[in-house]
Protein backbone atom coordinates (compact mmCIF):
# COMPACT_ATOMS: atom_id res chain seq x y z
CA UNK A 1 0.00 0.00 0.00
CA UNK A 2 1.23 3.47 -0.89
CA UNK A 3 0.56 6.81 0.74
CA UNK A 4 0.79 10.27 -0.81
CA UNK A 5 -0.15 13.73 0.37
CA UNK A 6 -1.75 16.46 -1.74
CA UNK A 7 -2.81 20.10 -1.51
CA UNK A 8 -6.17 20.57 -3.22
CA UNK A 9 -7.99 23.76 -4.17
CA UNK A 10 -11.71 23.28 -4.74
CA UNK A 11 -13.73 25.86 -6.68
CA UNK A 12 -16.99 27.14 -5.24
CA UNK A 13 -19.05 24.83 -7.47
CA UNK A 14 -17.55 21.71 -5.85
CA UNK A 15 -17.50 22.70 -2.17
CA UNK A 16 -20.72 20.88 -1.28
CA UNK A 17 -19.79 17.61 -3.03
CA UNK A 18 -18.23 14.86 -0.86
CA UNK A 19 -15.44 14.18 -3.37
CA UNK A 20 -12.76 13.39 -0.78
CA UNK A 21 -14.78 12.03 2.12
CA UNK A 22 -16.94 9.65 0.09
CA UNK A 23 -16.30 9.50 -3.65
CA UNK A 24 -12.58 8.66 -3.62
CA UNK A 25 -13.05 5.70 -1.31
CA UNK A 26 -16.20 4.42 -3.00
CA UNK A 27 -14.99 4.86 -6.57
CA UNK A 28 -11.27 4.03 -6.28
CA UNK A 29 -10.91 2.01 -3.08
CA UNK A 30 -8.46 4.44 -1.49
CA UNK A 31 -8.48 5.74 2.07
CA UNK A 32 -8.45 9.56 2.18
CA UNK A 33 -7.41 11.32 5.38
CA UNK A 34 -8.03 15.07 5.54
CA UNK A 35 -5.02 16.52 7.38
CA UNK A 36 -5.96 20.22 7.25
CA UNK A 37 -8.62 22.35 5.59
CA UNK A 38 -9.90 25.88 5.18
CA UNK A 39 -13.37 26.19 3.73
CA UNK A 40 -15.28 29.35 2.89
CA UNK A 41 -18.35 30.12 0.82
CA UNK A 42 -16.21 30.62 -2.28
CA UNK A 43 -13.37 28.08 -2.08
CA UNK A 44 -11.90 25.18 -0.14
CA UNK A 45 -8.22 24.43 0.46
CA UNK A 46 -7.55 20.90 1.69
CA UNK A 47 -4.47 18.89 2.57
CA UNK A 48 -5.33 15.22 2.09
CA UNK A 49 -3.30 12.07 2.55
CA UNK A 50 -4.44 9.25 0.26
CA UNK A 51 -3.55 5.63 0.98
CA UNK A 52 -4.06 2.69 -1.35
CA UNK A 53 -2.63 0.97 -4.39
CA UNK A 54 -0.37 3.32 -6.39
CA UNK A 55 -2.58 3.09 -9.49
CA UNK A 56 -5.73 3.76 -7.44
CA UNK A 57 -4.10 6.87 -5.97
CA UNK A 58 -3.13 8.08 -9.44
CA UNK A 59 -6.65 7.41 -10.73
CA UNK A 60 -8.23 9.26 -7.79
CA UNK A 61 -6.00 12.30 -8.35
CA UNK A 62 -6.79 12.26 -12.07
CA UNK A 63 -10.49 12.17 -11.18
CA UNK A 64 -10.17 15.21 -8.90
CA UNK A 65 -8.35 17.14 -11.63
CA UNK A 66 -10.96 16.09 -14.18
CA UNK A 67 -13.69 17.44 -11.88
CA UNK A 68 -11.94 20.85 -11.67
CA UNK A 69 -9.89 20.54 -8.48
CA UNK A 70 -6.35 21.96 -8.55
CA UNK A 71 -4.08 19.25 -7.12
CA UNK A 72 -0.44 19.60 -6.08
CA UNK A 73 1.52 16.74 -4.54
CA UNK A 74 3.31 17.53 -1.30
CA UNK A 75 6.69 15.80 -1.21
CA UNK A 76 8.38 14.79 2.03
CA UNK A 77 10.42 17.73 3.26
CA UNK A 78 8.25 20.33 1.45
CA UNK A 79 7.09 23.29 3.47
CA UNK A 80 3.41 22.91 4.35
CA UNK A 81 1.06 24.91 2.14
CA UNK A 82 -0.64 27.97 3.50
CA UNK A 83 -4.34 27.33 3.83
Where in the sequence is the domain holding 41, given as residue range(s)?
A: 2-74
Which CATH number belongs to the domain containing residue 43 in this structure?
Answer: 3.30.70.260
The answer to whether position 25 is within a domain reads yes
Number of compact structural domains in the chain: 1
The answer to whether position 81 is within a domain reads no
**What is the reported pLDDT for 2?**
95
CA 66 to chain centre: 12
What gap in Å lies between CA 25 and CA 82, rounded to an integer?
26
pTM (2 d.p.) = 0.89
Q: What is the mean pLDDT of residues 41-47?
A: 94
The answer to whether position 45 is within a domain reads yes
Give yes or no for residue 37 having a pLDDT over 70.
yes
The answer to whether position 83 is within a domain reads no
Task: Give residue-wise pLDDT tens across range 48-75.
Answer: 999 999 999 999 999 999 999 999 999 9
The answer to whether position 40 is within a domain reads yes
**What is the reported pLDDT for 77?**
78
What gap in Å lies between CA 7 and CA 16, rounded to an integer?
18
Task: Give residue-wise pLDDT tens across range 17-30.
Answer: 999 999 999 999 99
CA 12 to chain centre: 15
The answer to whether position 82 is within a domain reads no
Amino acid sequence: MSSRQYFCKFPQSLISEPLISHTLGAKFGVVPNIRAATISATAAHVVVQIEGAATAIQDSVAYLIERGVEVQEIQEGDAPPEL
